[in-house]
Structure 1
Amino acid sequence: MDVFSQYAPFIQDYIYSRGWGELRPIQTAAADLIFNTDNNVLLSAATASGKTEAAFFPILSVLEKDPPQSVGCLYIAPLKALINDQYERLTELCEGTEINIWRYHGDVSSSQKRKLMKHPSGVLQITPESLESLLLNKHADIPALFGDLRFVVIDELHSFLRSDRGGQTFCLLERLNRLAGVSPRRVGLSATIGDPKKTGQFLGQGSGHRTTIPQVASAPQKWRLSMEQFYKSGPQASEGTEPAAQAPLAPKSDQAPEMADPAMAYIFEHTRGKKCLVFTNSREECEAVCQILRQYCEVRGEPDRFMIHHGNLSSAVRQSAEEEMKDDSVNLTTCATATLELGIDVGQLERAFQIEAPFTVSGFLQRMGRTGRRNNPAEMWFVMREDYPESRAVFPSLIPWSLLQGIALVQLYLEERWVEPPKDHYLPYSLLYHQTMSILASGGEMAPSELAKKVLTLTYFKWVSQDDYKILLRHLIKIDHIQLLDNGHLIVGLAGERVVNNFKFYAVFQENEEFSVHAENVELGTVVKPPPVGEKVAIAGHVWVVEEIDRKRHQVYVHQVKGRIPAYFGDVAGEIHPKILQRMRRILAEDKQYPYLMKNAHVRLDETRQMAQHAGLPERQLISLGRKSYCFFPWTGSYAFLALERFIRLKCASRLGINKFDSVRPYYMQFTMDASEEDFYRVLKEEAAKNFDPLDLLYPKEVPYFDKYDDFLPEELVKKEFAESVLDLASMRECIESLPE
């Protein structure tokens, strides 16, 4: 009641009108910190726990009691759709008050933006890209716009923890503080925080305030969770076996068409008459799944009950799907990617499906959290798919990796409440270029020392040395992105103006650019963001190795090899943390069953454990496949695996006589080898103990472009960032040290 009494009268009326009997613990704790301290606040609680109200009830009360002379609260969200959703909620909450709620993103009319500039006040909701646009194009207006800024609320904070977009956001906040002469407190909101202490440090960097994380006892969570496995064709794993005791078997579908993909038939039948989400891990898969499910409706003579939502669709199509989902009188199912895993209001969803395992515990929790609103348990059905094994299939390809990964994600959270931590010690040179050009373009002519001070003192660049920055500036002068004047000062060059003046400059994430793929004189098709030279790409039903990339002509030259990898048309496989692979290894070693496994999944796990035990897994990590062929299971994360792959090929292969090297990242590597198992372990340990340069793990003449602005960087910085920041050498060394003597 003490907290309630500090709320503004309109907040109290809002609570009364909804018949709330009490405030939730997170709301009481947040209000106490916002009202009675000068600290940043990190609010981490389950989806639908009232985090938004916990932050805004006290913030709006402060703004109502002492109206700011500018925008008083800046709300940053990763998606325009989330901003639109929260705009409606806050507008309703502030109805009848003097507090204005503003939106500022690409879909907002110019007239609304002009009104904001004339009368800055209240709460401004914005994406990082639109904030970049403001600081770049409205530089002189920033003091008037934000001169009395009190709070910055960052929603879905976890989505900013491990990317350059998050780095951009925090650079912009520091730049805004300096320009406007303010020091607002920050409030971070997220349902999936793994390391609260590190996340609190990340939230507070450059803010001038310490961060407090209220410890709130959360109510026990109830989940309805199932995980089933399907072969895409042929008999299923459990045919002819007794049903598993651990989980009920869903009724066999008799409604899907004859010869239907069993997994798709399962989803088709169990979305009937319900409002559901079907999550996929890529846009390509999302399109394919939606098409299949719509075809099933057509074959059965049923109305189309499936919609689609992903980042490559127009805003009109996405908004149409969002509006349909909010209508609780309509039972439709939406096929979606990560665009719907964040906090957009999608109405009363009954069930979420996840096709294959997601890459992160955070993603799993976010997607499941889309359901379970209004006191109902969260409900997710995992659907794992694999090809029916060929008679000559080699042992490692018989392991249902997605099934193991899905179990590992669930168990890590159930057992340890573990979620991926923020990424630290990073060399973000692509973002360094971007912020250098933005600061120079907005601030005009300045001395190199002044520019360096403005850029390198941004907290996100704390690992960048002055020497590296000098290398960058000299290169940018050489390619005319920056011009050196006779007085020794710098301005944006002609080539740089073409980059900065393009609206695409506001974003630091890569837009899709198509490259045509050529084998000799034959064009095979197109891919987006091709992998580096020496890596593989799948297209036209075959696997190819990239020989050369012509970035000016947008062409990729390849030659064909044997093997199988997933098709790649622009969706980059997510980073999998080492801890997930280590938990997958334990799954093979333990004999426990998991109560959420359905019949086929239960049988496949038993089969896999027996097969692994017969081969010597998981105790042994190097398995002989006969005739000098070996398979190595590192059980480490994506970027440690990538580093280890290169380490073996570049540092150890000649000593061990390794040839015909191939890998399925991040699960296993296959090769032929002249040496013994003992030699393999010994050589890896000896080479890892040497103090080698991380740059040694780049192939000859390789310049591994990964980020949006890498093309504008000097090659030595591109190589350094890849070697020291992309490749996870620390985890690679831990992996090698753990190998048997």
Structure 2
Amino acid sequence: MNVFERYAPFIQDYIYSHDWENLRGIQVAAGEAIFNTDDHVLLCAGTASGKTEAAFFPILTLMEEDPPSSVGVLYIAPLKALINDQFERLDELCEEAHIPVTKWHGDASSSKKRKLLKHPAGVLQITPESLEALVLKKHMEIPHLFGDLRFIVIDEIHSLLRGDRGGQTFCLLERLSRLAGVNPRRIGLSATIGQPELAAAFLAQNTDRKTQIPKIQGEKTRWRLSMEHFYKEGDQAAKGQEVEALPLEAPTDQAPRNANDAMAYIFEHTRGKKCLVFTNSREECEAVCQSLRLYCEYKHEPDRFLIHHGNLSTSYRESAEEAMKDEDTYMTTCATATLELGIDIGRLERAFQIDAPFTVSGFLQRMGRTGRRGSPSEMWFVMQEEYPETRAMLPEKVPWTLIQGIALVQLYIEERWVEPPRLDRMPFSLLFHQTMSELASSGPLTPRDLARRILTLAPFHNISQEDYKVLLRHLLETDMIEMDEHKQLMVGLAGERVVNSYKFYAVFQENVEYSVHADSKELGTIVKPPPIGEKIAIAGRVWVVDDVDHEHHHVYVHVVKGKIPAYFGDVPGDIHTRILLRMKQVLLEDTSYRYLRPNAVVRLKQARETARNGELLAQSLIPLGKKMYCLFPWLGTYAFLALERFLKLKCGERLHLRKLSSSRPYFITFTMDVSMKEFYQILYEEACKEFDPLDLVYEKEVPIFDKYDRYLPDELVKKGFAYGVLDVKQMIQYVKEVLYLEKDQVEDDYPQDLYKAVN
């Protein structure tokens, strides 16, 4: 019997009614894995490939053949909007078989939730945060609700494999399964997973099943891709030059005086089309939308631009989503990652990306929002750059976002490479959260029982019993928990205030603003202040952070000379080392890329000439003159961050290091009083010494990164950062195996003629 014949009659009718001529490869492969095995299943296929139907057709067939006595399927998605979107599709599919589908999130119907609690059945759709609230508040109802749970479907699973939110989800799945006494199969869905075997192993962790990864015959994908470069002011790179590049579909119309050419470009090429414009931050999203709306005013055209990001109200976001679904309107929405995942917002014709995203996965997700219903996916990259000053140093002459964008695209085109899951963290913030959640839901527990319930959860495989004792002692001292006369632990007075807040359900950091103070003057506000000793730009000047008061949300600074990008809370993304190495190759090779537009072609040529003239590709350490040097490590974000600290804290005294400044993760500039050969030798010697990663934490620093770090003892915050954030292993490997080999290729002193040539 083939997969279609195995489907329940109502599934077959659904397929006929939608005029499907045949099943897709993923639907056949998923059906075989779900029908013919008892394993977990990881479905990896492109955006809009039919993954949801591929999973639910066989699952619903099995449910109709043997109806469960409780909720049979738990569907978890990272966004309420994605749940709302999938609800319409699943509800239509399940209606004929009378299988109820229930949404459960903050905006869902209370009456439908009450009905499910009385008569649990069918499919329950939920976010990780609402699942946390359900386990916490309806603890005694869990066996009744999920006593016959058969499947857990996790949509967009890649978004849950690199941080605390994913850890929270898998903790809750284990706790729910224990409470309900069930062993459901897990079905993961994703369009962008690197190293699926790692994700498959994590999906199966702490269960008695293995994970199937069905082999799917990939369909040929077609892309329409373009990448253009713009200076924010002044003449563009290709002005006055003849350049072979992709033809532009229409000339850019006359723009307002002093206009940003990049915004004019986007304005003209969204006209009469339904598009998305992706940015990498909320601040940029707001600025871009404002600029594009000003063009509408200038041209006396109706406003055709919408906005969508996480700081907007639910109703505002939903109105943008509904407008985009309207097939008769041609609107463009400026968005952040909130529209990156698989919400159906109609037939989108084109996506724009301002500057390079941080990951290949993000690039694929964003481009995958277009090209549905038979059309090719289409993305236009718009790379922006300040015009380099005449006396700019070598590193400032490289258009880093342009090079990064090319590297992202080429890594996928050439190797189908996507970032792998990040499963080696030490999630102490999540450990606090799940400890408090367990005590709040279960009631008093002995320390032994609590440790047995928490430390056995899969995300805490790196946490030792000794570290957990340190945490519990600290929580007792701070009244987060207390011990009763029976030597059992329970939530304390301070803990009640944390657990009883609706904000407790989420483990991701809300946008808390910190006011910045210099002496007695307030300069403005930022989000997520950097560590003490780092620099920020605000009020037109550069400042060094002296102290951070997390309780009152104050940052204290003093002014210094220099120039750095403004910092309002969006820290540099987690850029993988493979991307940096491919960026180096972009500068090294002579390859022309067919998707580059004229300005980008010229700017890339200039960048390659700059890199070669400055010997940037021949060695990592480049002299800039007057005892100033620039180091190009080609390391990912967290190995780069470890190298910064290694230079300051382990090598700084021997190097006589001063004025260290970094543009993470591209380059580090500094002055030193030793020769280049001595630099290499000193770094190698220090890297060969045994040292604790905790040595790379500044003396008075408590690097609070995650939401509940402020409730942890300082020693665990530092340990989590040193062992779970900094990539010390890769940094040491780089110093020993890459840098040291360059030692014999350099002269004792920096060559002045080279300095003059590149500056």
Q: Same-fold call, TM > 0.5?
A: yes
Is the aligned partner of 1:136 residue 2:136? Answer: yes
Aligned to 2:151: 151
SS of 1:475 mapped into structure 2: helix
> Is the 1:243–1:249 contact (alpha carbons within 8 Å) kept by the matching residues of 2?
no
1:255, CA displacement in angstroms? Answer: 4.3
Q: Distance in 2 between matches of 1:518 and 1:217?
A: 59
Q: Distance in 2 between matches of 1:593 and 1:729?
A: 36
1:249, CA displacement in angstroms? Answer: 4.0
Instruction: Give 1:577's aligned amino acid.
Output: H
1:425, CA displacement in angstroms? Answer: 2.1
Aligned to 1:53: 53
Is the aligned partner of 1:95 residue 2:95? Answer: yes
1:566, CA displacement in angstroms? Answer: 2.5
Q: Distance in 1 between matches of 2:562 and 2:361?
A: 32
SS of 1:452 mapped into structure 2: helix
> Is the 2:482–2:491 contact (alpha carbons within 8 Å) kept by the matching residues of 1?
yes
Q: Deviations over 1:565-590 (max 9, x none)?
A: 33222333311011110110111111
What residue ranges of structure 1 are gaps of 5+ in the alignment?
none
> Is the 2:580–2:635 contact (alpha carbons within 8 Å) kept by the matching residues of 1?
yes
Q: Deviations over 1:200-221 (max 9, x none)?
A: 1122222321101011111111
> Is the 1:120–1:145 contact (alpha carbons within 8 Å) kept by the matching residues of 2?
yes
Instruction: Give 1:111's aligned amino acid.
Output: S
Q: Deviations over 1:259-301 (max 9, x none)?
A: 2100000000000000000000000000000000001001110
Q: Distance in 1 between matches of 2:552 and 2:698?
A: 24
Aligned to 1:86: 86
Q: Distance in 2 between matches of 1:184 and 1:588?
A: 50
> Is the 2:161–2:423 contact (alpha carbons within 8 Å) kept by the matching residues of 1?
no
> Is the 2:243–2:601 contact (alpha carbons within 8 Å) kept by the matching residues of 1?
no
Is the aligned partner of 1:550 residue 2:542? Answer: no
Q: Distance in 2 between matches of 1:4 and 1:99?
A: 20
Aligned to 1:320: 319
> Is the 1:349–1:371 contact (alpha carbons within 8 Å) kept by the matching residues of 2?
yes
> Is the 1:64–1:98 contact (alpha carbons within 8 Å) kept by the matching residues of 2?
no
Aligned to 2:113: 113
Q: Deviations over 1:221-279 (max 9, x none)?
A: 110000000001111101111122x4224543114323210000000000000000000
Q: Deviations over 1:328-353 (max 9, x none)?
A: 11100000000001000011000000
Is the aligned partner of 1:452 residue 2:486? Answer: no
Q: Quick one: structure 1 residues 92 and 484, their matched pair in 2 at CA, closer, same or farther if it must change by over 3 Å?
A: same
SS of 1:499 mapped into structure 2: helix
Q: Distance in 2 between matches of 1:541 and 1:250?
A: 39
Q: Deviations over 1:672-701 (max 9, x none)?
A: 111111111111111111110111101111
Aligned to 1:595: 594
Q: Distance in 2 between matches of 1:551 and 1:167?
A: 25
Q: Deviations over 1:393-441 (max 9, x none)?
A: 1111111000000000001101111100011222100000000000011
- Which has the higher mean CA deviation after the structures are superposed, 154-163 or 554-563? 554-563
> Is the 2:629–2:669 contact (alpha carbons within 8 Å) kept by the matching residues of 1?
yes
Instruction: Give 2:415's aligned amino acid.
Output: E
Instruction: Give 1:177's aligned amino acid.
Output: S
Aligned to 1:677: 676
Instruction: Give 1:194's aligned amino acid.
Output: G
Q: Distance in 2 between matches of 1:734 and 1:289?
A: 41
Instruction: Give matches, 1:288-299, under 5 Å.
Output: 288-299=287-298
Q: Deviations over 1:125-180 (max 9, x none)?
A: 00000000011000000000000000000000110010100000000000011000
Q: Distance in 2 between matches of 1:56 and 1:430?
A: 35
Q: Deviations over 1:295-342 (max 9, x none)?
A: 100111000000000001001010011111111111000000000010
Q: Distance in 1 between matches of 2:392 and 2:579?
A: 26
Aligned to 1:44: 44
What residue ranges of structure 2 are gaps of 5+ in the alignment?
744-759
Q: Distance in 2 between matches of 1:592 and 1:35?
A: 48
Q: Distance in 1 between matches of 2:565 and 2:89?
A: 42
Q: How many residues align?
A: 740
Q: Deviations over 1:689-738 (max 9, x none)?
A: 11101111011111111111111101110110111111011221222121
Is the aligned partner of 1:435 residue 2:434? Answer: yes
- Which has the higher mean CA deviation after the structures are superposed, 668-677 or 335-344? 668-677
Aligned to 1:391: 390
Task: State TM-score, norm by structure 1.
Answer: 0.99
Aligned to 1:513: 512
- Which has the higher mean CA deviation after the structures are superposed, 563-572 or 528-537? 563-572
Q: Distance in 1 between matches of 2:400 and 2:208?
A: 45
Instruction: Give 2:50's aligned amino acid.
Output: G
Aligned to 1:197: 197
> Is the 1:352–1:367 contact (alpha carbons within 8 Å) kept by the matching residues of 2?
yes
Instruction: Give matches, 1:222-621, under 5 Å.
Output: 222-244=222-244, 246-249=245-248, 251-621=250-620
**Identity across aligned pairs (percent)?**
66
1:468, CA displacement in angstroms? Answer: 0.4
Aligned to 1:168: 168
Q: Distance in 2 between matches of 1:566 and 1:56?
A: 47
SS of 2:552 mapped into structure 1: coil
> Is the 2:526–2:567 contact (alpha carbons within 8 Å) kept by the matching residues of 1?
yes
SS of 1:738 mapped into structure 2: helix
> Is the 1:516–1:556 contact (alpha carbons within 8 Å) kept by the matching residues of 2?
yes
Q: Deviations over 1:500-532 (max 9, x none)?
A: 010100000011111110111211011112111
Q: Distance in 2 between matches of 1:321 and 1:613?
A: 47
1:22, CA displacement in angstroms? Answer: 0.7
Q: Distance in 2 between matches of 1:113 and 1:186?
A: 23
Is the aligned partner of 1:70 residue 2:70? Answer: yes
- Which has the higher mean CA deviation after the structures are superposed, 105-114 or 67-76? 105-114
SS of 2:716 mapped into structure 1: helix
Instruction: Give 1:467's aligned amino acid.
Output: E
The structure 1 segments of at least 4 consecutive aligned residues displaced by more than 6 Å after TM superposition are none
> Is the 1:578–1:731 contact (alpha carbons within 8 Å) kept by the matching residues of 2?
no
Question: Cα RMSD (Å) of the superposition?
Answer: 1.0
1:361, CA displacement in angstroms? Answer: 0.2
Q: Deviations over 1:370-406 (max 9, x none)?
A: 0010111100000000011111211111110000000
- Which has the higher mean CA deviation after the structures are superposed, 726-735 or 39-48? 726-735
> Is the 1:117–1:145 contact (alpha carbons within 8 Å) kept by the matching residues of 2?
yes
SS of 1:680 mapped into structure 2: helix
Aligned to 1:687: 686
Q: Deviations over 1:647-685 (max 9, x none)?
A: 001111111121111111000000111111111111111
> Is the 2:105–2:126 contact (alpha carbons within 8 Å) kept by the matching residues of 1?
yes
> Is the 1:249–1:599 contact (alpha carbons within 8 Å) kept by the matching residues of 2?
no
Q: Distance in 1 between matches of 2:609 and 2:449?
A: 65
SS of 2:297 mapped into structure 1: helix
SS of 1:94 mapped into structure 2: helix
> Is the 2:164–2:430 contact (alpha carbons within 8 Å) kept by the matching residues of 1?
yes
Q: Distance in 2 between matches of 1:424 and 1:166?
A: 10
